[in-house]
């Protein structure tokens, strides 16, 4: 993301997993909140931890005082293994969380598109006694993968004219949960030209919660 981004390989279920860690600057004056795990979009369609939406999520969390951890799913970049249709990828995310999270450290789970599906599944498979502070799903791939129900305070953001995951699919998934969805008018799946707005939505939403 920048010259201060730390790259690291950790042990995963089928080999090494490539991670990128971004932390608040040394002079950061706000509260240090914990760790944010950010999951990237579908690897079979070119998704990596360097996706612009994923990096925007990481920047938002760093601005809020979190240490943002991105990683490449198995078979992508320096991560070993091969695509597992969303099953092993959940295991990858759980492995990164376990390796990168400090003892009793607060953590947030976030994901874009396929990564949103993974995030929903990870939240349901956390070890006993572990609960994410909050989930953030951007353009969750509800029409393509079995996205699990999520906690009522989950922040879901979706583009009005998303041509990859139709807004109607996300609303159909959210409706039984009485889960609000932040709809960004005139925006497609990848938030082209609107990444600053996406970041602002996340940051402002967090700040409102602190009031």
Q: What is the mean pLDDT of the chain?
A: 96
- Give counts: helices (H), strands (E), the chain: 5, 8
Q: What local confidence, expressed as pLDDT, does residue 210 receive?
A: 61
Check pLDDT > 70 for residue 159.
yes
Q: What tens digit of pLDDT does each residue of 62-86 get? A: 999 999 999 999 999 999 999 999 9
Calculate the CA 49 to chain-centre distance: 10
Its pTM stands at 0.96
Classify residue 207 as exposed, middle or buried by CB count within 10 Å of its CB (0-12, 13-18, 19+). exposed
User: What distance in Å separates the CA atoms of residue 89 and residue 16, rounded to the nearest whole number?
Assistant: 13
Reduce the DSSP state of residue 165 to 3 states and report it.
coil
Q: Where are the alpha helices (DSSP H) in 7-140?
A: 52-64, 87-100, 114-124
Sketch the domain layout of the chain as residue ranges: 7-19+41-210
User: What distance in Å separates the CA atoms of residue 75 and residue 83, rounded to the nearest whole number?
Assistant: 6
Q: Which residues lie below 8 Å from residue 127, measured CB to CB, with a gap of 6+? A: none
Q: What is the mean pLDDT of residues 162-177?
A: 98
Check pLDDT > 90 for residue 209.
no
CB 64 within 8 A of CB 30: yes
Q: Domain 7-19+41-210 is classified in which CATH homologous superfamily?
A: Alpha/Beta hydrolase fold, catalytic domain (3.40.50.1820)
Q: Which residues lie below 8 Å from residue 104, measured CB to CB, with a gap of 6+? A: none
- From residue 39, alpha-carbon distances to 57, 207, 208 in Å are 10, 23, 24
Q: Do you know the residue count of the chain?
A: 211
């Amino acid at each position: 993301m920048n010259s201060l981004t730390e790259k690291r390989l950790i042990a995963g279920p089928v080999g090494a997993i490539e991670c990128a860690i971004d932390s608040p600057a040394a002079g950061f004056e706000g509260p240090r909140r914990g760790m944010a795990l950010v999951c990237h979009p579908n690897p079979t369609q070119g998704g990596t931890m360097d996706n612009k939406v994923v990096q925007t999520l990481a920047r938002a969390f760093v601005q809020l005082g979190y240490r943002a951890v991105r990683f490449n799913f198995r078979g992508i970049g320096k991560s070993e293994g091969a695509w597992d249709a969303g099953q092993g990828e959940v295991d990858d995310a759980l492995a990164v969380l376990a390796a990168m999270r400090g003892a009793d450290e607060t953590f947030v789970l976030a994901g874009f598109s396929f990564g949103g599906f993974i995030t929903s599944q990870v939240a349901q498979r956390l070890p006993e006694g572990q609960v994410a502070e909050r989930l953030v799903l951007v353009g969750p791939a509800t029409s393509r993968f079995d996205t699990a129900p999520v906690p009522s305070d989950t922040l879901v953001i979706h583009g009005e004219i998303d041509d990859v995951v139709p807004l109607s699919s996300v609303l159909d998934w959210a409706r039984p949960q009485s889960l609000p969805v932040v709809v960004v008018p005139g925006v497609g799946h990848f938030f082209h030209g609107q990444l600053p707005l996406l970041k602002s939505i996340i940051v402002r939403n967090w700040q409102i919660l602190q009031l």
